[in-house]
Amino acid sequence: MTPYEMKKLEMELKQFTVNNFDKPMQCKNLEQVRFYIRELCAKIEELELRFNYVPEFAYSLLAQYNARQNSLLQKDFSHLYS
């Protein structure tokens, strides 16, 4: 892929996530976060298969969702066992 194609793919992915995903910190429950993680993983897999390239932004966003999931899990755990 050319640098132009990579940048174009990154911009399309960012627009897709803005239109279809809530920001990680706006997610209020585990099911919502897990849904976005599944969808983002599917999108990453699709990009890998189609273009053999995934923008770094996708992995960064996935890390943010994972961090939010861990935060919500810790919160639920502390409420259950305190």
Question: What are the tens digits of pLDDT across the range 27-64?
Answer: 999 999 999 999 999 999 999 999 999 999 999 999 99
Domain ranges of the chain: 25-80
How large is the average pLDDT for residues 11-30? 95
For 63-71, what is the mean pLDDT? 97
Put simply, whether the predicted model's pTM sits higher than 0.85 gets the answer: yes
Note the pLDDT of residue 77: 84
Q: How far apart are CA 57 and CA 49, in angstroms?
A: 17
Instruction: Specify burial of residue 39 (Cβ count, 10 A radius: 0-12, 13-18, 19+).
Output: middle
pLDDT score of 1? 84
The mean pLDDT of 7-28, rounded to a whole number, is: 95
